[in-house]
Amino acid sequence: MKKSLSFLPVLFLLMSPFIVSTLPQADTIPTLVDYIFCNGNVITVDDSNTVVQAVAIDDGLIVGLGSTETILEDFATENDTTYDLDGRTIMPGIVDGHSHYMASLFWIGEKYAVYDSQSIALAYGYTSLNEKSIDHGELAWLRSAEQNGTLRLRVNCFLIYNFAWLESDEPVEVGGWEEAIPINDYDRKLRIPGFKIYADGASGNRGFPAVSDPYSQEMMDLWGITNPYGDLYYNQTELDPIVDELHDKGFIVAFHAMGDRATETVLNSIDYALNGSTNSNYRHQLEHNSFIREDLISYALTLDTIHSVRGYFPTYWQEDYEALYSATWLERYVNRYSLPGEGLHSYLETDFGFLHGFDEDDWSRSTNIRPFLHMWGLVTRKAIDENGTIHSPDPWLAEHQITVEQALRMMTIEGAYAVKMEDYIGSLEIGKYADLIVIDDDPLTTNPDNIKDINVTLTMIDGKIEFLWSSHTFPTPYTSGTSRTSSALWMVVISLSTLIVAVNRRKES
């Protein structure tokens, strides 16, 4: 099943010199567990943002949290799996609240080994992906992966209700979902919590975000916009019954909504479906929130809707926006960053997919796979252009700065909340799944400018080590093991990139 990436034996080799003595005290009988990580900096992301030193893991679950001393008193491991973190940081695994990772893998190569193809996400610290638009073919592929036991990440599918474009001004709906039911089993890797509806355009042949103040003539000429108010895929009368039906069937509805006119229509439809009940029971959510008005933020607060926020803003384009947008538009454009501060549930969207290409060295791409580049973007609003130059935000773009604590929640527990998994993943608490990562710097205490360079050195899902970057994790004399692990990972990266280049060439021709 798994050939090239056998990390576990390497792990044992590397760890053995660092085993901490776990001999029990004379008067206590410690409980035997699978893993102990101690002498570290464990950021739990619980309600009080507790930080502890050690964590014990057994049978896929977190069974102990506390000081190194108490954890080693209470627990022991049989197989030399008590690891000395030597001050390194552990945090919950990254939950991408808006991803196209798995769906795009299906398209770049159906026969590509699903097991290995998840290695890139694992190496960046993802443990859970909320896939925002899954079609029939992708779902069948994911289902077989789950059945074969080759699904390593948690994948939450939002089934695609309509395509992201219009034909003759009409939305193109995807039929055949009549038999679909929500799959919310917390113990399954593959879940179907909801549907994705495209409510407005984005750019080019998708049409443009539906706005309440018209695009200027200059914008229309520059971008080829034909409708000055953008493109709303469904009017209120059309959208209300669609949302109501999905809501009644128990699905979460996630909406692509970029323009404020789309956001308003979507909020009205959610309001209609909720009919006075609270969204905390349903979790309907809005993607992108690119132009959001103040009054719509107030409306969202009354509905308790959930919102995605892209972490990495292309700040190096800010002069272009300043030249084109009025002050009102700039304000609406940056309002998305105010959402977590306003008390709205907000999760990180990377919007990453392989179909847009994947260049490991590209730090400029806004839909970047690097989670800590997104975190750096959220807390500094800085960005790196294609030449490697770092750009700082102008005052309008620096508004609504997010704290590291808020960004941490957006990348973990909020993404879990968006798929009703917050009681099982998203924070490190006793009884939750051991979905965690070891990283080589502490985002809470490091200089914010260093956050983008944080590396993931170990990824664990369900109490199973799925990724280990040996050369960074625990430097050891076993250098031969180091190069073996790294080259195995890079082989996957290189072969995937080659595949993507080949696919893109085919598409262009």
At closest approach, how far in Å is the CB of 287 from Zn ion? 7
Alpha-carbon torsion (440, 443, 444, 447), positive or negative: positive
**Which residue, among 213, 216, 220, 253, has the nearest Cα to 234 in the 3D structure?**
253
CA pair distance 143, 150, nearest whole angstrom: 10
Q: CB-wise, 74 or 351, nearer to Zn ion?
A: 351
Least Å distance between CB 277 and Zn ion?
Answer: 28
**3-class SS at 420?**
coil
Residue closer to Zn ion, measured from CB, 160 or 421? 160
> 448: helix, coil or strand?
helix
For Zn ion, the closer of residues 231 and 351 by Cβ is 351
- In this structure, are strands 94-99 and 345-349 parallel, antiparallel, or unpaired? unpaired
Phi and psi, residue 71, nearest 5°: -65, -40
Q: What does the binding site for Zn ion look like in residue numbers (CB under 5 A)?
A: 351
Minimum distance, C-beta of residue 272 to Zn ion, in the bound complex (Å): 25
Region label for 399, one of left (φ > 0), alpha (ψ between -120 and 50) or beta (otherwise): beta
Please identify, using beta-carbon distances, which residue of 30 and 353 lies nearer to Zn ion.
Answer: 353
User: What's the gap between Cα 422 and its chain centre?
Assistant: 14
Nearest distance in Å: CB 349, Zn ion: 7
Output the six-digit token pair for 94: 């990254």
Smaller CB separation from Zn ion, 365 or 391 = 365
Nearer to Zn ion, 260 or 351 (CB): 351
Q: Minimum distance from CB of 351 to Zn ion (Å)?
A: 4
Instruction: Closer to Zn ion by CB, 46 or 351: give it.
Output: 351
- Which residue shows structure tokens 């895929």? 233
DSSP 228: T
Any idea which residue has 């050939």 for tokens? 3
d(CA 295, CA 309): 18
CA max distance for the chain:
81
Q: Which two tokens stand for residue 498?
A: 């080659």
Among all residues, whose Cβ is closest to Zn ion? 351
Q: How far is the CB of 308 from Zn ion (least distance, A)?
A: 9
For the bound state, the minimum distance from the C-beta of residue 97 to Zn ion, rounded and expressed in Å, comes to: 11
- Provide, rounded to whole angstroms, the least separation between the CB of residue 132 and Zn ion: 5
Nearer to Zn ion by C-beta: 76 or 157? Answer: 157
Q: Which CB, 7 or 358, lies closer to Zn ion?
A: 358
3-state helix, strand, coil in the chain (%, to 5): 40, 25, 40
Q: Which two tokens stand for residue 39?
A: 């002498």
Q: Where are the alpha helices (DSSP H) in 64-100?
A: 68-74
CB of residue 365 vs Zn ion: minimum separation in angstroms? 14
Query: Is the Cα torsion angle 60, 70, 66, 468 positive or negative in sign?
Result: negative
> Which residue, 334, 337, 340, is CA-closest to 409?
340
The CA–CA distances, whole Å, from 100 to 138, 156, 188, 369, 418 equal 11, 11, 20, 11, 16
> Which CB sits closer to Zn ion, 56 or 102?
102
User: Rounded to an integer, what distance in angstroms lies between the CA atom of residue 490 and that of residue 434?
Assistant: 26
Shortest separation between residue 348's beta carbon and Zn ion, angstroms: 13
CA-CA-CA-CA torsion sign (194, 197, 199, 204): positive
- Closest CB to Zn ion among 254 and 460? 254
In angstroms, give the least distance from the CB of 256 to Zn ion: 7
